[in-house]
Amino acid sequence: MAASVAAAAGRLRRAIGRSCPWQQFSTESRSPHAAAVRDTFLSFFRDRHGHQLVPSASVRPRGDHSLLFVNAGMNQFKPIFLGTVDPRSEMAGFRRVANSQKCVRAGGRHNDLEDVGRDLSHHTFFEMLGNWAFGGEYFKEEACGMAWELLTQVYGIPEDRLWVSYFGGDTKTGLAPDLETRDVWLSLGVPASRVLSFGLQENFWEMGDTGPCGPCTEIHYDLAEGVGAPQLVELWNLVFMQHCREAGGSLQPLPQRHVDTGMGLERLVAVLQGRRSTYDTDLFSPLLSAIHQVSPPQPQRHCYFSRVCAPLCMCVCVHTHSLILRRILRRAVRFSTEVLRAPPGFLGSLVPVVVETLGAAYPELQKNSAQIASLVSEDEAAFLASLQRGRRIIDRTVKRLGPSDLFPAEVAWSLSLSGNLGIPLDLVELMLEEKGVQLDTAGLEELAQKEAQHRAQQAEPVPEEGLCLDVHTLEELHRHGVPPTDDSPKYNYSLQPNGDYEFGLCEAQVLQLYSEDGTAVASVGAGQRCGLLLDRTNFYAEQGGQASDRGYLVRTGQQDVLFPVARAQVCGGFILHEAVATECLQVGEQVQLYVDEAWRMGCMVKHTATHLLSWALRKTLGPTTEQRGSHLNPERLRFDVATQAPLTTEQLRTVESYVQEAVRQDKAVYMEEVPLAHTAHVPGLRSLDEVYPDPVRVVSVGVPVAHALAPDSQAALQTSVELCCGTHLLRTGAMGDLVIIGGRQLVKGITRLLAITGEQAQQARELGQSLSQEVEAARERLSRGSQDLQEAHQLSKDIGRLTEVIDSALMPQWQRQELQTTLKMLQRRANTAIRKLEKGQAAEKSQELLKRHSEGPLIVDTVSVESLSALVKVVRQLCEKAPSMSVLLLSPQPSGSVLCACQVSQAAMPTLTAEAWALAVCSHMGGKAWGSRVIAQGTGHTADLEAALGTARAYALNQL
């Protein structure tokens, strides 16, 4: 028996490692609709096993910078696993929950993009069914029992078609086999021959390099129906989080155990509907039918491209903008146009089909369907134009290549998202692969590294990571009954009659001290960087986009010894203060906290400004305008907003004017904590896709919170009303002013705005006005005209200098855009004037030179001109007037350089070429040259012009 099980295990290891052979799947089973399969899963856990159903989170991760997209159902519950969940939030009360989560695996650690369409089971977008038990609510026996009950008794999958695997231990790490899970499966009646053990890679799940982890057990479905060797596809993964991976790689027991399960809806539906592939289920059939109406399915390759287009369009429809999703959409655009021969706008026309299929389960798709369709159609149209140009460039370049030549990296880069046309590099490589041409990947990697270095230099500095309480430390605090930090004193401030703010004093007790490595200690010594946990604080801990407070604390009764506090961080309801001990400090001591009032005031100004900016953007761009992130400190604020296109000059000016009016009116800012349920259906109330505490703080500008939240109130549609835990001004007048100083598109559909307030904003307006006057003066100089070429060149340089200043000046962005447009027009006019003057000058100088060189095959001489372009014009005019002559002219410049230009007559070629002639002369002058056989130019440095002219004559006569 043991030998047969071992042999089966060997076959299964090989089978699990291969792509799933869906083609051999039976089609005799019953076919429930996918929606019914999803609903059955959710109702099973809700009704039979008391699980709370939670909605799918957005595929934009909530404050998790380690993920590009939500790629598993557990992502939104990370705060629970890490112990950092806000104790006042609904999530803190979760014990057993279930849901169906929208997921995207494209980019990052979990990336299925390259497998999509190449087999019959991978998707970029998919739905993950899952159930969770937190804090030991239930564990292995109950989780396995529920899964087996659902699959065999509810869905009716034959028991003999199911195999299970469990963690068989790992000798290197010292992890014992998970015999507990094995015994559970055996007790449920699974034969020992279908209960197989695997190692770390297959049956041990880890969240990341550090953090909660544990053994998992997988349920597999046998596609072979008992005929021949088993052919397995993974159906459900049950993870038992019972360990924690430490920074050094060691494993420690997790303070609280959790169950995290995930089952792909697409695979489950394929099993229950008896389909050959996940693409043949009713999850995809409406979309594929719509595709086939445009282009009927024919060869297998054709179906491959259909499969690619289907899930890609679904990914775009999750209303998330990023470079990865642009790659997905653009790949689909190319396949739909080149392979399916679909008309322009085809992908946008599929959006309603996707919404109809998934809208009942995910109402946000119905809500945003028009905007999604618009974004898809716009990007499709823009990319089609780029694709046509890119295809021509690729074809032209390939024709010039030799049999073994690589496609130039520079050309590929110019086609890419980092270059000019926005064609993803993987798509460029695919197009070349289809032509049998290999890309110069080494050269491309070098260009990518240079681009990365350039971006790193321009990127905002990454803040230094501070001290943090890990899951073990947090559990220790809970076990000892330490209550969450009372940070309500951070709101203890008032506005005095003279307009100043008075910030209340906060007295607190040191509950715990932590060394720099996070170890709990009873005391810290002088000069030691440490973390302080207090019973209460008036420091604002960084959250909601607002920078942390800073300041200092003193021992009660000892005012002359200051302990500087650099920042405060919130972790699971506890506020950790990072400080430097100037003297010995011990647990139990009483302290007084003082916030840096100037810093706090700056944050309050910027946070209220952020709310007004958000309100003004919605008022200007429309009520559906959504914030996509923000960050603020006393210096400036950053605000990301979802927009169809970059904001126009007029829109920017309008947004500022709305904020200025609210500041001028000096409106009261009301703040109040209310039950979270009271905010659920308030028209116009702005909230982000975040987990909010209950009760939640509401910030309302100009309207009392009770009135703003009244059932019949429309206040939130007319003013700024938001859920927010930040600190704010009590009246808007103290803001002084707001100026948007920068705006750029992060990706298609997301614009980042930078803004400043107060005196900084006034200075920006003054600078903008001053620069506007300089631009107007340049316009007047240009309008007067000039017959002096040197003066015209100086004006052109002045316009260029002014352009550079305005590009980087701290000034209103709307005014910058306005002046940039004006300067471009002035630069064109200045260049036109220069060309006209140079042409006239060239005619005069060419006439003078012809008088001096009336005979002979050569004209080699010097001439005084201001630029290389003017010198080329003189050469051209000479050759037009004397076509039998070859001409080379030098022009010494005030800077010490010497300009060179030449042109050879038709009769002189091929023995004499312009490029070689210019190179010979410029090399003599220690410079360089470039051009063609007919005309060339170059530069050099020499004090002996006669010697250079002699070289020019000698070289030409020798060639002739």
d(CA 903, CA 914): 6
Q: Which tokens hold the place of 664?
A: 């001028």
- The response to whether 607 counts as a known ligand-binding position is yes
Phi, psi values for residue 373, rounded to 5°? -60, -40
Cβ neighbours of residue 63 under 8 Å, at least 6 residues apart? 690
The residues with which 764 forms a beta bridge, in sequence order, are: none
Cβ neighbours of residue 175 under 8 Å, at least 6 residues apart? 167, 169, 200, 204, 215, 251
Cβ neighbours of residue 164 under 8 Å, at least 6 residues apart? 185, 190, 194, 195, 196, 217, 218, 219, 220
71 within 8 A of 85, measured Cβ to Cβ: no
d(CA 25, CA 875): 78
- The response to whether 728 counts as a known ligand-binding position is yes
211 within 8 A of 27, measured Cβ to Cβ: no
d(CA 312, CA 331): 8
Cβ neighbours of residue 632 under 8 Å, at least 6 residues apart? 545, 546, 547, 603, 606, 607, 609, 610, 638
d(CA 478, CA 484): 9
Phi, psi values for residue 176, rounded to 5°? -80, 155
- H-helix or E-strand spanning residue 306: helix 300-316
d(CA 241, CA 13): 24
- The response to whether 724 counts as a known ligand-binding position is yes
First to last CA, the chain: 96
Phi, psi values for residue 909, rounded to 5°? -85, 150
d(CA 329, CA 307): 13
- H-helix or E-strand spanning residue 697: strand 696-701
Largest separation between any pair of C-alpha atoms in the chain: 111
d(CA 545, CA 728): 13
d(CA 163, CA 146): 16
- H-helix or E-strand spanning residue 555: strand 551-555
- The 3-state DSSP class for residue 367 equals helix
Q: Which tokens hold the place of 232?
A: 């397995």
Q: Three-class SS string for 829-895?
A: HHHHHHHHHHHHHHHHHHHHHHHHCCCCCEEEEECCCCCHHHHHHHHHHHHHHCCCCEEEEEEECCC
**Annotation: binding site for Zn(2+):** 607, 611, 724, 728
**Annotation: binding site:** 607, 611, 724, 728
